[in-house]
Structure 1
Amino acid sequence: MSSSSSSVPDYLGDEDLTQETRDLISSLPSEKGWLVSQMYQFQGRWHTQALLQGILKCQKHFEAQDSDIILVTNPKSGTTWLKALVFALINRHKLPVSSGKHPLLVTNPHLLVPFLEGVYYESPGFDFSALPSPRLMNTHISHLSLPESVKSSSCKIVYCCRNPKDMFVSLWHFGKKLAPEETADYPIEKAVEAFCEGKFIGGPFWDHVLEYWYTSRENPNKVLFVTYEDLKKQTGNEIKRIAEFLGCGFIGDEEVRDIVRLCSFESLSTLEVNREGKLPNGMETKAFFRKGEIGGWRDTLSESLAEQIDKTMEEKFQGSGLKFSC
């Protein structure tokens, strides 16, 4: 698919692929996607051509530091919100939320927290060592495919998981905004089938989630597992939990309330920078703000499609101890 549409991010395109990536792609299993023309399977996961190139470069060149904080999600699992919350949390002393001049009021969270594989594709010369410490970054990369330095260092990983039905529906609507030509004639029934087969960007969903879930239980000092639903229902408590995990020191109730207020969906979605702004890749910032609800899948999925996802997830997560609300 071409990235000629102004709303489509570069990393859904294929215009700057290296010969190395093209050679690798020619040997990989491929499938037609419902957000992109073609996806490729690498290390058991499905990727766009551009994001695959970003992952390869990230694996080769990214050097984690012990003080790094890496936010990990599946696509459309609260990434924007998590970026805002953790950015406000770790910078609360030098950038007080109560000052009324916070960067989040004038800058989209995606510009404040670099997306590793996206940056490695769009700006391969980007100097991560120039970021202030602790460096805060995010990725959708599976645990299996993380750069070795991330696994071997003492850096912290915060993983946010979302109910698969809400995640799917959010991704479905996101796709319609980003790639209307690709999704216009693509039936949602076929997209659900592909999702349940694990064939979507970053999928299979269950592999991605379970890798981080099991790692969080084996090494709770390395990976903190949070859910979008808990973040919504008890945002303050979850912020305190994240703060404790990151070693941020004591955080008072008033500071927590300020962060919750600043980073709420209602607050962020009404800011001009998130209603009218665009990222450097041309993508409109309003595409990241739809509803942010729990259980919003009910507006889009029929009972039979919801049941199809539920049955798949019940089978895939059996025995893991992980349950999804809603």
Structure 2
Amino acid sequence: MAAANHHLLPHDDQPSNSSCEPLLPKFIEVEENISQECRDIISGLPREEGWFQNSLYQFKGFWDQAWLIQGALGFQKHFEARDDDILLVTTPKSGTTWLKAILYATLNRSNFPPNSHNHPLLTNSPHMLLPFMEGSHQDNISRDRIDGMASPRLLFTHLPYSSLPESVKHSSCKIVFLCRNPKDNFVSLWHFANKIRPKTWGTLSLEEAFDKFCRGVSPHGPFWDHVLGYWLESLKRSEKVKFLKYEDLKDQPVASLKTLAHFIGHSFSQEEEANGVIDNIVSLCSFENLSNLKVNKDGELPFGMAAGAYFRQGQVGDSVNYLSSESLEKIDSIAEQKFGPHGLKF
């Protein structure tokens, strides 16, 4: 791929496609189905061309698709948090699939031992085992399903902290936030976008994506503000918000899992540790295992995404293979400017 500016390395590799060509993702088509209320809201919002959908709209400081803005409004209006809820939050492409699997296996280990041959993660995508709150608040039927879930509920959102429902902020529910080094996050997001973009839209160039990301125009972005919101809240309320880094989870999965289980109130017993339960969860939820399961390689998820689109390499530091030293330095400079004064480093 020829680089259009000197910030970015020429690179022969295009973002890899999944084994089966994805159909037009259903979420791309829903903008025409949004409510009149949401239409009225987005009509006056700043708009930019999206990464893998027609448009991103800047709503209350963050960029998102129209249907997700509608879902966020429903989430804010109708959701009543319980004190024992566990809410996972990530920036897109920061290890979301992995964290969903780890927390699901940890929370449900009594009913589904992680070394069992019929574990739900062996036959279900992690994305199908946790409700996505913006998606689940598009209609009353889906909202009722959330309300009817047994406690403790394990839930998921991409929303920034400022956009969470007030009941989440004021309850004792736990928030687990996962983020990733912005350089690797960007490269992973770029690959993901080109896996799911319809062919008729063409490839999103590395140069265009890099410019958007640095300016903050990315799904649920700015990345910087999204991460900082949860970091600052974790400093103020460490008992409520657990701030995790993908790199730490990758480097020390067992120690990270023990800390995470304790945080959500489901610590491992000495007997469980001795019997290898933690190691079994780490093994079950490893990138190598999850990415090679048939359910995560073939076909399409119900909401229109190719199952294989969520897995690529899962490596730390892959951005050096795509970005020049000048581009890497630019992201580092933005990160230092945004995060440095608050003590957050990657």
Same fold (TM over 0.5): yes
User: Structure 1 length normalisation: TM-score?
Assistant: 0.94
Distance in structure 2 (CA, Å) of the matches to 1:125 and 1:234: 40
Shift of 1:115: 1.0
4+ runs deviating over 3 angstroms: 180-183
Match of 2:260 among 222, 233, 242: 242
- 1:96 aligned residue: 113
Q: 1:210 to 1:204 in 2, by over 3 A?
A: same
Distance in structure 1 (CA, Å) of the matches to 2:85 and 2:51: 34
1:1-326 to 2 correspondence within 5 Å?
A: 6-10=23-27, 13-121=30-138, 124-126=140-142, 127-181=145-199, 184-251=202-269, 252-253=272-273, 254-324=276-346
Distance in structure 2 (CA, Å) of the matches to 1:305 and 1:133: 46
Q: 1:163 to 1:20 in 2, by over 3 A?
A: same
Q: 1:9 to 1:323 in 2, by over 3 A?
A: farther
Q: In terms of mean alpha carbon deviation, does 30-39 or 191-200 score higher?
A: 30-39
- 2:4 aligned residue: none
User: Structure 2 length normalisation: TM-score?
Assistant: 0.88
Q: 1:284 to 1:109 in 2, by over 3 A?
A: same
Check conservation: 1:36, 1:182, Cα contact below 8 A: no
Q: 1:12 to 1:262 in 2, by over 3 A?
A: farther
Shift of 1:217: 1.1
Q: 1:133 to 1:11 in 2, by over 3 A?
A: farther
Distance in structure 1 (CA, Å) of the matches to 2:181 and 2:342: 15
CA RMSD of aligned residues (A): 1.6
Distance in structure 2 (CA, Å) of the matches to 1:172 and 1:36: 13
Unaligned runs of 5+ residues in structure 1 are none
Shift of 1:181: 3.9
Check conservation: 2:100, 2:126, Cα contact below 8 A: yes
Check conservation: 1:70, 1:139, Cα contact below 8 A: yes
Q: In terms of mean alpha carbon deviation, does 34-43 or 170-179 score higher?
A: 34-43
Q: In terms of mean alpha carbon deviation, does 313-322 or 207-216 score higher?
A: 313-322
- SS of the residue 1:72 aligns to: strand
State the identity as a percent.
Answer: 49
Q: How many residues align?
A: 319
Shift of 1:307: 2.0
Distance in structure 2 (CA, Å) of the matches to 1:178 and 1:300: 20
Q: Which has the higher contact order (CA 8 A, sep 6+)?
A: 2
Check conservation: 2:28, 2:54, Cα contact below 8 A: no
